[in-house]
Amino acid sequence: MIRQIRGRLIDVELSFVVVDVGGLGYLIHTNAVTSAMKLGDEVLFYTYLAVRENAHDLYGFLTEEELELFELLIELPKIGPKSALQILTQADVKLLREAVRNEDPAYLTKLSGIGKKSAEKIVSGLKDKFEAEEFGDADFNNKEGRATGHVPDTVDALIALGYPQMEARKIVLQISTDNPDVKTPTEALKLALKILSN
């Protein structure tokens, strides 16, 4: 999976850009304010490749936090990449996180195309994922706050191979709990890939 693209802007439209990387142009759908971009600018997008039967679409973000939130959104029922991108185009990431933590769907109902019920489902779904994310961060660290064991390295390796961050964390934490004899990132990665391939 393509996780990031750095290159030169050769086309800038309202909802997408084309980035030239060594003579190859990547069309990237983005929530970024493209009106502030200029042809020839050097840019870096953190990307997600959505694969469908008849298309391979790249979605790009200027920060890793936006990409992570995008990946959380598309894991929710009935939220596809286009809907997730629309939410992130209209919503401030910080305010969105606050709305979820405060269980306040009213912020989302102000966005175009999101009704009250949909907003409630999004807030509820993201709240569970945020809590799981925080729980995972706690498990990554010992009492002194330093990362321990194979968990961080194994998660990073899975993300580099194209697996979503939440899925990578979940499977590695499961391995850490169920297989205490696994000590190294290499052993954990082999086991994780075996589980994910089933």
Using the 3D structure, point to which of 20, 35, 61 is the last residue of a domain.
61
Residue 147: the pLDDT is: 41
Residues 136 and 70 in one domain: yes
| Cβ–Cβ under 8 Å, residues 15 and 28 | no
Token reading at 68? 């992570």
Q: Give the Cα separation of 8 and 46 in Å (integer).
A: 15
Q: What is the CATH number of the domain that holds 80?
A: 1.10.150.20
Residue 66: the pLDDT is: 93
Residues 43 and 111 in one domain: no
| Tokens 């994910």, residue located | 196
Query: Which residues make Cβ contacts (< 8 Å) with residue 173, sequence separation at least 6?
Result: 136, 139, 151
Q: What is the CATH number of the domain that holds 187?
A: 1.10.8
Residues 114 and 131 in one domain: yes
Residues 93 and 121 in one domain: yes
| Tokens 């968990």, residue located | 151
- Quick count: other Cβ atoms within 10 Å of Cβ 101? 13
Residues 73 and 121 in one domain: yes
Residue 21: the pLDDT is: 97
Domain count for the chain, please give it: 3
Q: What is the residue-level pLDDT of the chain in tens, covering all 198 positions?
A: 789 999 999 999 999 999 999 999 999 999 999 989 999 999 999 999 999 888 899 999 999 999 999 999 998 888 999 999 999 998 888 888 888 888 888 888 887 778 888 888 888 888 877 766 654 444 444 433 334 457 777 888 888 888 877 778 788 888 877 887 887 888 888 998 988 887
pTM of the model: 0.66
* Domain assignment of residue 95, given as a range: 64-140
Q: Give the Cα separation of 35 and 87 in Å (integer).
A: 19
Using the 3D structure, point to which of 61, 83, 108 is the last residue of a domain.
61
Using the 3D structure, point to which of 103, 122, 140 is the last residue of a domain.
140
